[in-house]
């Protein structure tokens, strides 16, 4: 396995997570490709140019290059990106033909999957697909997606030579909701950068952030309905009787077409509940700086409606911070209920608050969960992820390509 073309049409690995459409997928692509480069696989990441000052090529490190492709207006919103898939695909194809072509294509998200599907047939290359989120999974929790996305995901899944799932729950979703062939699904969980995300001094972290010794809850992520910020705010209010000084740190910014409305709803809820002095909104932070926030927190709360994996939960655990999360998707794997945190099987803030209270009320429980969380997270590394994928890519190059039905 010599080289790989990675498609990340709608968001760049160079973008800061938490801004606009940038989130866990940015981290996934950046860290994975970096680990692959260190393992000897040359990879180029193709993403859409979204600003005039973005050069055609950015060499991140030896073996890791980002290529900006012109496709549509620079400020084209995410919901209009299906209009430029052909233009993006033609731009990527020109690069691949000029440079001799990679050994395989790895598409991230359904938009890139559509382009990867086309390039697979044009260039006779194996296609690996990672979806990160699935339309039919989101629909189950009330987040409806356009039918064009559902149809595209179905077609890409049917013709992918390998489909990457982050956990067993995602395998079930792919098979039950899309009819995916189980023999072509590989469970390859992401990793975490332990050089940045590791246990550290809580007092020092709090001093750096200007925090005192009050209980601190942490929410990290894009502000959109899917992520459940209002559940976290309501759970904080439920703690007022026993922990009136507890505060909630919210690190992230509005994202997607519903992001601004969700942010305003969160602000209104804070005011309605009288929590203005106990909820602090922090703009999106450079990824490596998030470790300071994780270390400063007593608990990280992840009340998402759905999560294919949940990198925030993994990063928090790697820093030794217990996690209270919704019992959905990859969080079912990442959070060991009663050991590294708690899983909540509904969206009732009172149940989240009860779990938070259990941790805040007992230093013995909190310390035990902190140790268990860091130990559990230690098994997730990007080098392991890259090694497994390198073997998979190499294996695919020796197989006959999957054909469309």
* 157, 392, 397 from 103: Cα distances, Å: 20, 12, 7
- Write down the pLDDT at residue 101: 84
| Sheet with 127-130, side-by-side order of all strands | 57-61, 64-69, 42-48, 3-7, 104-108, 127-130, 162-165, 185-187
Phi–psi pair at 394, nearest 5 degrees? -65, -40
| Residues 370-395 pLDDT 10s | 999 999 999 999 999 999 999 999 99
Structure tokens that stand for 249 in this block? 């740190």
Q: What is the arithmetic mean of pLDDT over 149-168? A: 96
C-alpha distances in angstroms, 57 versus 49, 104, 392? 11, 20, 27
Could you tell me the CA-to-CA distances from 334 to 229, 238, 316, 372 in Å, in that order? Answer: 20, 26, 11, 12
Percent of residues, the chain, with pLDDT higher than 90? 87
Q: Which residue has the higher pLDDT, 360 or 142?
A: 360
Whether 235 contacts 301, CB under 8 Å: yes
Q: Is the pLDDT confidence value at 281 over 90?
A: yes
> Tell me: the pLDDT tens digits for 106-154?
999 999 999 999 999 999 999 999 999 999 998 988 888 999 999 999 9
| Domains of the chain by start residue, with CATH | 3-191+382-396 (3.40.50.2000), 202-377 (3.40.50.2000)
337, β-bridge pairs: 341
pLDDT for the residue 16: 79
pLDDT at 264: 96
Mean pLDDT of the chain: 94
CB-based burial of residue 339 (10 Å sphere; 0-12 exposed, 13-18 middle, 19+ buried)?
middle
List the single range of 52-56, 141-145, 289-293, 341-345 with lowest mean pLDDT. 141-145
The full DSSP string for 213-230 is: SS-EEEEES-BSGGG-HH
Whole-angstrom Cα distance, residue 282 to residue 163?
Answer: 36
Could you write out the DSSP letters of every residue in 116-171? Answer: HHHHHHHHT--EEEE-SS-HHHHHHTT----HHHHHHHHHHHHH-SEEEESSHHHH
Residue 22 clears pLDDT 80, i.e. is over it: no
In whole angstroms, what is the distance from residue 251 CA to residue 282 CA? 5
pLDDT for res 405: 67
The arithmetic mean of pLDDT across residues 180-201, rounded, is 96
Burial of 29 (0-12, 13-18, 19+ CB in 10 A): buried
pLDDT over threshold 70, residue 241: yes
The Cα 385–Cα 106 span in angstroms is 14
Q: Which of 274, 323, 265, 318 is nearest to 299 (CA)?
A: 323
The pLDDT of residue 246: 98
Give phi and psi for 72, each to the nearest 5: 80, 175
pLDDT at 102: 94
Percent of the chain clearing pLDDT 70 (strictly above): 99
Mean pLDDT of 226-242: 96
């Amino acid at each position: 396995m010599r080289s790989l073309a990675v498609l990340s049409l709608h968001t760049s690995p160079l973008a800061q997570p938490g801004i606009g459409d940038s989130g866990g997928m940015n981290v996934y692509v950046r860290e994975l490709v970096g680990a692959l480069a260190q393992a000897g696989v040359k990879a180029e990441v193709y993403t859409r140019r979204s600003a005039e000052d973005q050069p055609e090529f950015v060499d991140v490190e030896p073996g890791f290059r980002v290529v900006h492709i012109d496709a549509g207006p620079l400020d084209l919103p995410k919901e209009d990106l299906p209009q430029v898939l052909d233009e993006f695909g033609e731009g990527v194809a020109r690069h691949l033909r000029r440079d001799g072509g990679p050994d395989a294509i790895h598409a991230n998200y359904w938009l890139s999957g559509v382009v990867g599907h086309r390039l697979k047939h044009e260039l006779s290359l194996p296609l690996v697909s990672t979806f990160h989120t699935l339309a039919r999974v989101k629909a189950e929790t009330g987040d409806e997606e356009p039918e064009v996305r559902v149809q595209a995901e179905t077609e890409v899944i049917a013709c992918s030579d390998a489909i990457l799932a982050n956990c067993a729950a995602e395998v079930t979703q792919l098979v039950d909701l899309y009819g995916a062939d189980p023999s072509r699904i590989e469970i390859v969980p992401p990793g975490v950068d332990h050089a940045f995300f590791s246990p550290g001094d809580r007092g020092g972290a709090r001093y750096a952030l200007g925090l005192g010794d009050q209980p601190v809850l942490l929410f990290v992520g894009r502000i959109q309905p899917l992520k459940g910020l209002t559940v976290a705010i309501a759970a904080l209010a439920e703690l007022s009787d026993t922990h009136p000084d507890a505060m909630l740190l919210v690190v992230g910014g509005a994202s997607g077409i519903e992001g601004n409305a969700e942010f305003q709803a969160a602000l209104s809820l804070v005011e309605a509940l009288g929590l203005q002095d106990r909820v602090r909104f922090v703009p999106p932070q450079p990824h490596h700086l998030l470790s300071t926030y994780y270390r400063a927190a007593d608990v990280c709360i992840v009340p998402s409606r759905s999560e294919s994996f949940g990198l925030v939960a993994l990063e928090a655990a790697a820093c030794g911070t217990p996690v209270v999360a919704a019992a959905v998707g990859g969080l079912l794997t990442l959070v060991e209920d009663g050991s590294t945190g708690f899983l909540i099987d509904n969206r009732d803030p009172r149940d989240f608050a009860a779990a938070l209270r259990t941790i805040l009320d007992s230093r013995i429980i909190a310390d035990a969960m902190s140790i268990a969380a860091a130990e559990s997270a230690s098994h997730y590394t990007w080098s392991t992820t890259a090694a497994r994928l390198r073997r998979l890519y190499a294996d695919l190059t020796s197989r006959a390509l999957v054909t469309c039905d």
